[in-house]
Structure 1
């Protein structure tokens, strides 16, 4: 549900409330707008999320683009906090990462922050573990290349994540945590920026220095800023990771972030066709008029229509079709009900394909084994973080 007009806007990794002004966030976070020149530098074909500026801001992205275009080593890190079922707003950064991996053999690292969600949510360890397993099935269904992808689960990969986080924690003061995130609710969240730094620097600690890009929603940018400060101290053999920051997929009920933790309905990756059509028909906020006659006379506004926005963000590849839909909606020849049907059809086609791949997966443990860090990669990461080869982490 859209936030009340008088609610103070808040955008942090742990809370998004109020009316979101994306331009103000750039000034607040100190990020740069994504330029047309940078968009043109992405490998062709440029993903719709980039060319339509859903990914709208960046930090130090040029080294990544240069390496990707030159066929040199480069990596992406984009993770998942398993606090519940995944919805369509969660998945598009991963499909974007898969797109780049297919284009340029990008190395993709996907950390699962199961410990953070336990610190943050009123959920048991067992509940978070269940969400982790189901979320893993959705990520595995995307079809990443196992040779070029590593999936890390914090509690399962503590032998590498904790030593790295312990090293980086010494670089972060409590005052930095408080100023960046607000006062933490518990000491787990105080420590967690060090864990996030371990995630973001892990590709370089495994494979050596190379450009790394973090494509994430804009609320997660504080993690990148803290990590870049650690890398800038040059105490470790890593370069500062770049960032590509996205807008939020809006809620069905109107402008704002789609969230599985509030009362607004979300379209889940496991929803069937009937459920998706019902959610779109019943809940999708319309930019049309109050009657068919008024709509045909005055037209609708695609900029606030959620069905149009879902198509624009992710579910319609063709720019020409999006332009035609916007034109027909504005002139009143395309009705709101028909636009909802188009969006529901596109979303269900996407989900049908995703769910078929998901259903073909074997047991999670067997599927995940292909994406785990190898023993050699674990040793390399610990060694580059300063641990000797005979450290107790090897036992």
Structure 2
């Protein structure tokens, strides 16, 4: 939990204009270096090349394994409290990029239990959001042989025994110091569940570097998990972290959240809806009149349309630089930049929606991505449960 005069960053909220250098110092993470950026496979990813992923913990261990063809994994999760929006897509398409270029195994936990504990929603509502979010994750196009989707409530037979074992390495004082006083006893236990998520690839497949690409506000989860892994009771290593800056909401600074009042671009929005939201709500870095803009230019660093292109939706670095230059010069108007962003985003979302619409029965589509019985047994055995643990739990 980090609170300053101008901004607040916690696992549950981000407010104000975040000073990333200050946040880096307080979290004790390291800045991602140009050398590390260059070690990502292929031409790299825009999120890395452009410094959106700006800080890390033990990134070199992951990169060593990824570049040498060794076993390695990535964990990035979903909190199913509503429909997925534009701010959710980045880590999953980044994970797909690593899976395609480096053969990365990807684990995606769905924390439906945590959302029930923190949101004023019924179990039925959370369940509907989970099913909807699952469709969006499947639409990304992960390789089922190298991807596992875990839903806490549906996979409680493995998640909760593991969390119980790992909770023995946590104290309530650590939880309180990291998160503040919990609202309920469920949230006191949840850090053990979160640690289970981040360590699951190693518990299933054996000791290996594991990367957690995550918003800087979620770093406390990683820090607590690294403390658990550092106790050396189990044959696991501390997960690495890649910390990202926050995608601003359409109306300006601050983290984009499905629960905020600011409008979000949903993954299900059609082309015209996306265009209308961008044109109507996207905060502009331009001047108040065309004449002033032509003379003074705009500021792409605060312009939401430009930032959306910069973060993810324009892969060409030269094109991004051209847009920024022309915007600063005043030859590119705010309205024109909004139209470009709306078109790029709509094109990307249409491809995503087509893949989503082609999915059949969710149960049938999900099966290849679920933990197998053998994988469940290996995970439970890794923390000391006997071989017949699953049989006993299912009686």
> Is TM > 0.5 for Structure 1 vs Structure 2?
yes
Question: Does residue 296 in structure 1 map to residue 267 in structure 2?
Answer: no
For residues 272-283 of structure 1, the aligned pairs below 5 Å read: 272-283=270-281
Moved more, 15-24 or 173-182: 15-24
Determine the C-alpha separation between the residues in 2 that align with 1:158 and 1:327: 52
Retained in 2: the 8 A contact 1:7–1:18? no
> Cα offset for 1:259?
1.2
Give the match for residue 320 of structure 1: 318
Give the match for residue 125 of structure 2: 127
> Cα offset for 1:394?
6.4
Aligned residues: 390
Determine the C-alpha separation between the residues in 2 that align with 1:40 and 1:393: 47
Give the match for residue 327 of structure 2: 329
SS in 1 for 2:369: coil
Retained in 1: the 8 A contact 2:16–2:253? no
Determine the C-alpha separation between the residues in 2 that align with 1:156 and 1:200: 18
Give the match for residue 210 of structure 1: 208
Determine the C-alpha separation between the residues in 1 that align with 2:290 and 2:187: 51
Q: After superposition, what is the alpha-carbon deviation per residue over 1:44-68, rounded to whole angstroms, capped at 9, x for unaligned?
A: 2200000101011000111110111
Question: Which stretches in structure 2 are left out of the alignment for 5+ residues?
Answer: none
For residues 228-239 of structure 1, the aligned pairs below 5 Å read: 228-239=226-237
Determine the C-alpha separation between the residues in 2 that align with 1:34 and 1:312: 18
Determine the C-alpha separation between the residues in 2 that align with 1:337 and 1:281: 7
Determine the C-alpha separation between the residues in 2 that align with 1:233 and 1:171: 7
Picking from 150, 155, 163, the partner of 1:157 is 155
> Cα offset for 1:18?
2.3
> Cα offset for 1:81?
0.4
Retained in 2: the 8 A contact 1:7–1:17? no
TM-score (norm 2): 0.97
Question: Which stretches in structure 1 are left out of the alignment for 5+ residues?
Answer: 1-5
Q: Which aligned segments of 4 or more residues in structure 1 are displaced greater than 6 angstroms?
A: none
> Cα offset for 1:7?
6.8
Picking from 18, 23, 35, the partner of 1:25 is 23
Give the match for residue 140 of structure 2: 142
Give the match for residue 251 of structure 1: 249
Determine the C-alpha separation between the residues in 2 that align with 1:362 and 1:172: 42
Give the match for residue 285 of structure 2: 287
> Cα offset for 1:19?
2.3
SS in 1 for 2:254: strand
> Cα offset for 1:370?
1.1
Determine the C-alpha separation between the residues in 2 that align with 1:150 and 1:267: 27
Determine the C-alpha separation between the residues in 2 that align with 1:222 and 1:386: 27
